[in-house]
Amino acid sequence: MRVLVTGGAGFIGSHVVEALRTRGHEPVVYDVRTDPGADVRDAAAVARALAGVDAVCHQAAMVGLGNGVADAPEYVSRNDLGTAVLLAAMAEAGVGRLVLAGSMVVYGEGRYTCPRHGVVRPGPRAVADLDAGRFEPRCPVCGAELSPGLVGEDTPADPRNVYAATKLAQEHLAAAWARAMGGTAVSLRYHNVYGPRMPRDTPYAGVASFFRSALARKAAPRVFEDGGQRRDFVHVRDVAAANVAALEAESAPGALTAYNTGSGEPRTVGELARALAEACGGPEPVVTGEYRLGDVRHITADSARLRAALGWRPRVGFAEGVREFARAGLREERAPSR
């Protein structure tokens, strides 16, 4: 299969390219890092890149929480306009298979259970609570403490920041394309991806990159809130393997199918910071109590559907992956994309 990989020279995209080659496919890299003219918003350039292509693996995106709403036009341009241009070109070229780099951020806060009211969906955390160090969401009905759980793909979306809103819009655009063209579309809703080739800390990098970058400078990782935020840190090679599995699978035409893509091993942000510090032989993390508006407290999703439908399973455990990441170099990132 000849596969166009947008963002194919980036952190995740480069691993997808390697995984495709290993499986005997022919990846075609489309990335502004290797070709300044390879912008997914350039309809003519995208049309040329699609010549002879059987499928598209769409990794190119502006990622991370960024700088609040000030970045909104750039996020929407890169993520949503870029996806719309790509899908229109695919329709024109008759390319009917798409795998999209989705994100678990579309859910907003994770799944919570109240001892009195069962499953509830807390709203955004109040600034007054965050300022006071009250980081855990409370039951919106009775104010009781909540127990976090795993989010399934059928959970209603609730994006809490600009980046999350653009990732959900990408899925809606892909679903509309699939319905109109009879194409197959899969969105892999990535959890917190980490591993070799992660970009050096920028406003758009993930928390694993921030911690690793600090340790490279012999500085202590700075942990926001109290470090108790639950996430699912999934290794980049496992994510790449999920992309290949989705490309090779028989998917239902005319619809978009979403799959949570995580390790299945929820960890706290504090755990990651401590594990990286130990693996790097660096200073202990510092818990700052600071916070970022738009961050959610706990988000870990159930990846059972992906395992059952595509036969995929993660192979890199947390301890092994952290040790490798501690040894791996970080790369400079010229553009805020994967």
Q: Residues with Cβ < 8 Å from 124, sequence gap 6 or more?
A: 160
C-alpha to C-alpha distance for 337 and 330, rounded to whole angstroms: 15
Q: Is 30 a catalytic residue?
A: no
C-alpha to C-alpha distance for 312 and 303, rounded to whole angstroms: 10
What is the phi/psi pair of residue 120, to 5°?
-130, 165
**SS3 of the chain:** CEEEEECCCCHHHHHHHHHHHHCCCEEEEECCCCCCCCCCCCHHHHHHHCCCCCEEEECCCCCCCCCHHHHHHHHHHHHHHHHHHHHHHHHHHCCCEEEEEEEHHHHCCCEEEECCCEEECCCCCCHHHHHCCCCCCECCCCCCECEEEEECCCCCCCCCCHHHHHHHHHHHHHHHHHHHHCCEEEEEEECEEECCCCECCCCCCCHHHHHHHHHHCCCCCEECCCCCCEECEEEHHHHHHHHHHHHHCCCCCCEEEEEEECCCCCEEHHHHHHHHHHHHCCCCCEECCCCCCCCCCECEECCHHHHHHHCCCCCCCHHHHHHHHHHCCCECCCCCCC
Q: Considering only CA atoms, give the Rg of the chain.
A: 19
Catalytic residue among 163, 190, 194, 259: 163
115 has which bridge partners? none
Active site residues: 163
